[in-house]
A and B are shown apart, each in its own frame.
Chain A
Amino acid sequence: MIHGPVVFTLAGLRRGAVVSLPLLIGLTPFGVVCGITQQAAGLSLGETILMAGLVYAGAAQLVVLGAWTHPPSVLAATLTALVVNLRLALMGPVLAPWLDRLRGWRVWLSLFTMVDPSWALSVREISADYRDAAFLLGAGGIMWISWMITSIAGHLLGEAIQPTPGHPIFFAALAVFVALLVNLWRGKADVMPWLVAGVTAVATAHLLPGTSWYMLTGALAGSLLGALRDARSGDADRR
């Protein structure tokens, strides 16, 4: 944990960026997939740049684009982004040892660039008693730049190959989440919530075709039943 004063310097910013460099290679396919999906959904290059730059949350973007309509449902897109990104609301407070000691724009700009990998790196630095809080902005900032470049590249790639709707390249969006699920798996406790989520989602998708509500109903049903079960068996405090 942090002992002593916290600073916010150019050296910390640079260190965050340099430490993140190897991770950028791993994030590249994710950005390209997002760009291709945005192009296929009918977004212009300008709209792709706007979404990548302001939302900067690949999972949320892919989920919303999976049910994109013309014109899009603003309410469904907003709610879906909110639910997909709820995890970020729990991640911010973990960085309190740095953020509580910063003022003004440094806090809010750093949080704007907070994504799962930059957060994970920062948590590691905090537990190693590193005291330059600009690390978070350096890591998130360079990932943001790489996200913009790969999103644009994906959009241009989509324009060049013009894949038809059933094309296997769109499987890449599913692959992102299947791969993320492998990492999210925590053991037997996840079986019931995940099954409930899957069944609810499939049922909702049949009842309300062409909308994105199936993700919200599935996620809410699975998470609430999982939390209720944990509360009953008394192991809710362990999570």
Chain B
Amino acid sequence: MWDFHPWTVAAILGMAAATYLCRGGGYWLFRQVTPGPMLRAALSYIPGTLFVSFVAPGLLDGRLHTLVGASATVAVMLWTRSLAWAIIAGTAAAWLAWSLL
């Protein structure tokens, strides 16, 4: 319960440092320099392209319950615009499809 693996702790500290570099460092850096339009455009695409990259292999691995869950998530998100309901409904749909198929 309270064991700390040295490499896990190192990875967590690395992630924490990288994250704070973005939170604090971004404010500090962009106070000194203004990012050009090209960098701005590239950064503006980052969240979307990154999340697509994260879900693509998982969605295309041929498991039907994943596709059912993803469709339900999109539908509920479009309908309610609520992250909580989309996660709950999507997971429930995936679970239902998994137990029926």
Residues of A at the B interface (CB closer than 8 Å) are 25-30, 33, 43-47, 50-51, 54-57, 59-61, 63-64, 66, 71-75, 77-93, 95-96, 99-100, 107-108, 111-112, 114, 168-169, 171-172, 174-186, 190, 193-194, 196-202, 205, 214-219, 221-224, 226-227, 230-231, 236-237, 239
* Binary contact track B51-85/A, C-beta < 8 Å → 1, others 0: 11111111110000110011001100110011110
- Summed over the interface, the residue pairs from A and B with CB atoms below 8 Å come to a total of 300
Given contacts A175-B87, A227-B41, A236-B41, contact A74 B19 (CB under 8 A): no
B90 surroundings in chain A (CB, below 8 A): 171-172, 175, 178-179
Closest chain-B Cβ to A135's Cβ sits at a distance in Å of 16
| Residue in B1, B12, B46, B56 whose beta carbon sits within 8 Å of that of A51 in the complex | B12
A86 closest partner in B (C-beta): B46
B82 to A26, Cβ gap below 8 A?
A: yes
Q: Considering the chains assembled together, what is the distance between the CA atoms of A81 and B83 in angstroms?
A: 22
A227 to B65, Cβ gap below 8 A?
A: no
| Residue in B12, B37, B83, B95 whose beta carbon sits within 8 Å of that of A179 in the complex | B83
A82 surroundings in chain B (CB, below 8 A): 18-19, 21-22
B8 to A43, Cβ gap below 8 A?
A: yes
A61 surroundings in chain B (CB, below 8 A): 15
A201 surroundings in chain B (CB, below 8 A): 52-54, 56-57
A202 to B52, Cβ gap below 8 A?
A: no
A47 to B4, Cβ gap below 8 A?
A: yes
| Residue in A216, A226, A237 whose beta carbon sits within 8 Å of that of B45 in the complex | A226
A46 to B49, Cβ gap below 8 A?
A: no
Closest chain-A Cβ to B86's Cβ sits at a distance in Å of 4
| Residue in B26, B51, B59 whose beta carbon sits within 8 Å of that of A92 in the complex | B26
Listed A/B pairs (21) with beta-carbon separation below 8 Å? A26-B82, A44-B5, A75-B14, A82-B22, A87-B22, A89-B43, A92-B26, A93-B27, A96-B27, A168-B94, A175-B87, A178-B74, A197-B53, A198-B52, A202-B56, A214-B53, A223-B49, A224-B42, A226-B41, A226-B45, A227-B45
